[in-house]
Chain A
Amino acid sequence: MLSSLALALALSTAGPARAAAPIGSVALAWPFSVDQPFPHAWRADQPAVREGLVLVVGVDPQVARPRQGPHPVLYVGDMPAERLSWSATAPWLVVLVPGPVDLARTPVFWGDETLPEQVDPEHGQAQLEAARQAGIAPLAPQATALPLRVADQQALLQAVAPLVQQWAPLPRP
C-alpha cells in the first residue's frame, strides 16, 4: 500500500486544480448487482461493490481522451466512477459506479486531475461540493435498462463489453 506520505506527495504532484466540469448527458443507466462483491479500485478505500450503475454518458472527446498523465476524474456524486471504455474519439463514455445511486439527486461531472486510487471519501466529498457550487446539476438518464444480476466482476465486465463496443469501441489491431 502507498504510505500516507506517498499519497500526499502524489496528490501534490497531480496536475493543476481544475474547476468541476459538467458532462453532456446520461444516455443510459443500467442497474446491476453481483453475487460476489468486488473492490472498487477507483477510490482509495476500495469499497466493496455489490450493486451499482453502468452509465453511458455523453462527453467531450477531448476531455475524455485517455491520458497517461494527470487526467480529470469522472465523479458520480462523491464517488469516482470506474471507466470501462477507452476510446480516444467517441463522444460517449461507459462507466461503472457503485450503488445505490439516485441519479435524480446525484450530479455526474469531471473533477480534478488525479489518480482515482488516491481519492479518499473526503476528497470525493470536496469534489462533489465543488461541483454543486459550480452549478452542476444532476442529469436524468435518457434511457434505463433492466437491472442486471451477475455472479461476479468478470461476468459483469463481460456483460458490459457489448455496450462498450456499441458506444465507444477501442481501435483494434
Chain B
Amino acid sequence: MRTLSTSMLVLLLACDDKGGGDDTAGPTGDGGVDGGTADGGVDGGGGDGGTIPADDCDDRPDELFCDDDGRAVQCDEVGDVASVEECGDLALCQEDLGCVSCAVDLAAGLGPAATAPARVRLDPDDVGADFGWRRYSMRPVSVSVDPGLVGGTVTLELEGEGLALWSADGEPLAGPLALDLAELPVTVLVQGLQEGAAGAVTAAVDGCGAEAARVELEVGAWSGLAGRALGGFPWLERVAAFTFDEQPQVGLDPAEHGDRAGLSATAWVVSRRSAEEWALDPTLVDAGDGPEVVTIGGLDLATDTWTVWASDLAGEAGAIATAYDVVLDLDGDGALSPGDLFQGATEADPAFWALSQLTRPGPYKVTTAQYSGGAWLGQRTYYPTDIAELVAAEGPRPLVMMSHGNGHDYTWYDYLGEHLASWGYVFMAHQNNTGPGIDTCSSTTLTNTDYFLGNLDSIADGALEGMIDGGRIAWLGHSRGGEGVARAYDKLVDGVYTPTSFSLDDIVLISSIAPTVFLGVDDSNPHDRWYHQIDAAGDGDVTGGPDSGVVQYLRIAEAAEGARAVHYVQGAAHNDFNCCGFDDGTGPDLIGRRPAQELAKATYLGLLEWVVQGNPATADLVRRSYESFHDAGIDGDIVVASQFRSDPGGVVLVLDDFQSETDTAVSSAGTAVTATVEDLVEGRLDDDNTSFAWAASDPMNGMTLAEDRDDLSQGAVFGWSGEAAWRVELPAGSEDLRGWTWLSLRAAQGTRHPFTVETAGPLTFSVVLIDALGAESVIRLDDVGLSLTQPYQRTGYGAGAGWANEWNTIRLRLADFASAGRGIDLSQVVAVELRFGGKWGSTQGRIGLDDLVLTQE
C-alpha cells in the first residue's frame, strides 16, 4: 500500500506559517500550497542545498519528484513548485510518490496475543537433507516494505547461533543479505539447528534512518499435537495410537506455542504421506470429519485442546492400523506450508495410528493343515490360504508356535491360530510331551521347530515352502508349555540342543501363558529375548499362590533380561486360553473363555506386530498401561494389571531398583533416599510364608516374584495413612532429564493389608519432579488415567480376600512435567518424589515399589 507519510502531512501544514525565501528544510514559500506564484515564492530561494531551484518545476507541471537532496517536490499545474517535503529519517523520497515510509515489515506469523518469541522448530534429523520436506519445519519470515519503495536494497541479517537461513526455494543463505527493494516482498526460512538457541532476524532499508525491524526467535522441539485429553495436569497425553472408537484430539501447549496466541487455524487430519509425498503435494485433504476451525487461546493446554475427529475412526479395510498426519493450517491456504504446525508430515512416525479392532478376523482366508512327523511331532498349522500372494507382496511370513500345557492338546488353539493366520501369520501348534516334565516338553518345542522348518517342502503339500521367515520365530507356550518355551531357549543358550533348521537368534519373542516354574529360573530362562506373559488371576491350577514356587509364574518374567511385558488378567482361569481344558476358575467375577480369548487374540496380535514385525502402530498396546489403552474389542469390564519394561540393555538410568543397596536411605544409584512413609522395608519380593493373610512379620506378603536363591528380584514395601512421601535424589551429573523420554516405575498394592482393604479399589498417588531451584511439577496418577489395580478379590491361603500383589507399570512422559508452563527446569532436576495421601491420591495405602528408572525411546 502506498501512503503519504505522517511526516509529510506535518510538513504540508507547516508551510502555511512560513514566509518565502526560507532556506531551511521548510519547503514552502508564500502562497504555499494554494498555488503560489509563477516566480518568486519558494522558487526564489536559489543557491544552496536547502532551497529549490526556481525552474525545477518549469518542465514538470503537476509532477511530484525527488530533488538531489532527497526531498519530495510537488509542482503545480503551471510549473511552479507547490510544495517541498523533507522525508526525514523514516521515509525515502520516491519519484511520483514523494516521501514513502522506509520501515521494513518482518512478519513471522505471530499471533496478536503472542506471549513468546517466534518458535523455530528444532530441525528433525530423521528425514534426510532434502529441502523439499525439511522446509516444513522451518519458520518463514516475510520481508516487505511499502510497495512504493522501489529503489534500493534491504539488508537482512540473522543473529544468533544455532540458526540458519534459507531462501524459499531452497538456497542456503549466508551473511547479511542485500535484498533488492523491487523484489520485495520476500520470504526467507529460518532453520533451527540447536535446541534452546535464540536469535533474531533483522532487516533495514539501506539509507533509511528507521530502526531495523526485528523478529525474535527461539529454537525448540515440538511435543507433537495429537493426544488424549486428560482431566488434569498435564492435560494432554501424547499417544501414538487410538482405538477406532476413540476421538483423537489435538493440543497446543502455550509453553511451546505461545507465539501463536490469538491466531485461528484449521485443524486437518490427513491420511499419512511420506516425506517425499508431502514435498511433492502439500495439499490438505481431510480424512476425518473435519477440518475443524480452532482458535488458539494461548492461555493453557486444557483450553487449547480440540477434538479433531468426533466420529469413529475410519481405517483402511483389512489393515491392522491406518496412519494419519495432523496439520494446523495457520495461513489458511489449504496446504502444508512452512509456518504451519504439524505432526507426522515429513517425520518418521505419523501423528497417530488408528487401530483396527484386533479381536476381529483379519483380511486373509485361512487354511489349516494337520500332519505328523512321528512321535511327538504332530502339528496343526494355520496359514493364509493365498500365502504365496501375500508373500509376493510383503515377504515371507513370521512363524508363531504354540506349545500346549499338560493334559492339553495341540488342537485346542484354533481360536488363536485362525485369528493370527487371518492377519498374515503362520501359526503352528504342536504335540507337546509335557507329562514327563519341563525338560522333556522343551525338547518337544525344539524338535517341532526343527521338524517344521526342515520339512516345509512336504508340509501342507509344500504350500509353505519359501513362505516362512525362519528368522522371525515367536514361541508361545501355555502352562507347562509356557515354562517349556523358556527352558527351550535356555537350552539353545547353553548349547544343550543344536538346532538343524534355525538358530538362537531366530527366536525373537517368547511368551508364556500362566507358566509353571518347576525347574527354577536358572534353567527356565528367556535370557535376553523379548519376553511376555499372560497370567490368570482366577487360575485354579497354576495359581500364583504363596505355597509353591512352581506356580509363581512371575518368577520367569523376573528372570528375563531383555524387554518384557506382563498382562495379569483378573477373573481369568487357566484353561480360558484353550478351547477345552477343564474349568478350574477360582474367584469372583470369572470372565469366561470367550472374553479371555478375545483378550489373548488382541494382545498377541498387537505384540507380534510390534515385536516380531516391527510395526510401531501397535506398540502402545504393549507399552501403555492396559488401564489406559487396550483393544476396543476386549470386554470393557476386564481388569488387567500390566507391566512393561523396555530393554534394560538399552539406554536406561536406574534411580532405584532395590537390587544393589538394601539400606532404605540409599538408592541403587547411591543417592540419598528420604521417606516419611510407614514401615519401609526393602528385600526380596518373596512372600515369606504360605499365606496371603496380612501379618506384620511378613512385610513382603503377597509378593510372588521370587522364591528360591536364583530369584533375584528385590523391591521396597511401605504404607501410609496420612500425607507421606518417598524421595530419591538424582545422581550428580544426571540432573539434566531433557534427553530422557520416560520416568517409569512399577508398583503393586499390598494384598489384604488393612490399608488395602480400606482402600477397596484402585489406588493412586502423585509423582513429583523437583528442580535445583525448588520448583516442582506434580502429576497425579488419577489425572492421567493410571492407578494400581485392586488385588483380585479371591479368597484362600488364609483369612481375607485378595490374591497375589499385582504389579502395574507407571510410565510418565518426562516432557509432560514441563508442559503447560509448569515452570520446572528439566535440565536440573534434583529429585523424584512420590507423594501419598491427602491431596496426592488415595487416603491410605500399602504398596510395593520397584524399578524407578529413566528410559529413552
- B-contacting residues of A (Cβ < 8 Å)? 1-3, 6, 9-10, 13-15, 38, 41-42, 65-71, 82-83, 86, 88-89, 115-118, 152-154, 157, 170-173
**In the complex, which range does the number of interface residues on chain B fall in?**
35 or more
| A13-B708, A15-B548, A42-B435 known; A153+B580 contact, CB < 8 A | no
Contact A69 B541 (CB under 8 A): yes
- Choose among A3, A6, A115 the residue with the greatest number of B CB atoms under 10 Å from its CB: A115
Report the 6 A-B pairs with minimum CB-CB distance, sorted nearest first.
Answer: A66-B407, A115-B437, A117-B437, A88-B582, A86-B407, A117-B436
Which residues from B are CB-within-8-Å of A86? 406-409
Q: Which residue of B lies closest to A155 (CB)?
A: B375
Which residues from B are CB-within-8-Å of A82? 435-436
12 contacts between A and B (CB under 8 A): A2-B439, A6-B519, A10-B520, A13-B548, A13-B549, A67-B407, A68-B405, A115-B437, A117-B438, A117-B439, A154-B372, A172-B580
Which residues from B are CB-within-8-Å of A89? 582
Which residues from B are CB-within-8-Å of A116? 435-437
Which residues from A are CB-within-8-Å of B688? none
A13 in complex: contacting residue of B375, B514, B518, CB < 8 Å: B518
Which residues from B are CB-within-8-Å of A173? 411-412, 414, 579-580
Contact A41 B375 (CB under 8 A): no
Smallest beta-carbon distance A16→chain B, Å: 9
**Roughly how many angstroms separate A13 CA and B437 CA in the complex, as a whole number?**
14
Contact A68 B548 (CB under 8 A): no
Could you give, for residues 157-173 of chain B, a 1 whenever the CB lies within 8 Å of some chain A CB and a 0 otherwise? 00000000000000000
- B13 is an interface residue with CB less than 8 A from chain A: no
Main SS class of interface, B: loop
**Roughly how many angstroms separate A86 CA and B410 CA in the complex, as a whole number?**
13
Contact B375 A38 (CB under 8 A): yes
Contact A70 B548 (CB under 8 A): yes
Which residues of B from 368 to 413 have beta carbons under 8 Å from A? 372, 374-375, 405-409, 411-412
**Roughly how many angstroms separate A3 CA and B496 CA in the complex, as a whole number?**
11
**Roughly how many angstroms separate A116 CA and B518 CA in the complex, as a whole number?**
12
Contact A157 B375 (CB under 8 A): yes
Smallest beta-carbon distance A107→chain B, Å: 21
Q: Which residue of B lies closest to A82 (CB)?
A: B435
Which residues of B from 413 to 442 have beta carbons under 8 Å from A? 414, 433, 435-440
Contact B406 A68 (CB under 8 A): yes
Contact B548 A69 (CB under 8 A): yes
Contact B405 A115 (CB under 8 A): no
- B581 is an interface residue with CB less than 8 A from chain A: yes
B542 in complex: contacting residue of A38, A69, A117, CB < 8 Å: A69
- B645 is an interface residue with CB less than 8 A from chain A: no
Smallest beta-carbon distance B347→chain A, Å: 46
Which residues from A are CB-within-8-Å of B439? 1-2, 117
- B96 is an interface residue with CB less than 8 A from chain A: no
Which residues of B from 523 to 544 have beta carbons under 8 Å from A? 523, 541-543
A42 in complex: contacting residue of B414, B436, B579, CB < 8 Å: B436
B436 in complex: contacting residue of A14, A15, A41, CB < 8 Å: A41
Contact B433 A41 (CB under 8 A): yes
- B667 is an interface residue with CB less than 8 A from chain A: no
Which residues from A are CB-within-8-Å of B707? 13
- B522 is an interface residue with CB less than 8 A from chain A: yes
**Roughly how many angstroms separate A86 CA and B581 CA in the complex, as a whole number?**
10
Contact A65 B582 (CB under 8 A): yes
Contact A2 B519 (CB under 8 A): yes
| A154-B374, A173-B414 known; A9+B708 contact, CB < 8 A | yes
Smallest beta-carbon distance B56→chain A, Å: 107
Smallest beta-carbon distance B633→chain A, Å: 21
Q: Which residue of A lies closest to B415 (CB)?
A: A173
**Roughly how many angstroms separate A6 CA and B265 CA in the complex, as a whole number?**
67
Which residues from A are CB-within-8-Å of B548? 13, 15, 69-70
- B787 is an interface residue with CB less than 8 A from chain A: no
Contact B522 A6 (CB under 8 A): yes
Which residues from A are CB-within-8-Å of B581? 88
**Roughly how many angstroms separate A70 CA and B523 CA in the complex, as a whole number?**
18
**Roughly how many angstroms separate A136 CA and B436 CA in the complex, as a whole number?**
24
Which residues from B are CB-within-8-Å of A69? 516, 541-543, 548, 550-551
- B574 is an interface residue with CB less than 8 A from chain A: yes
Contact A115 B518 (CB under 8 A): yes
**Roughly how many angstroms separate A46 CA and B425 CA in the complex, as a whole number?**
37
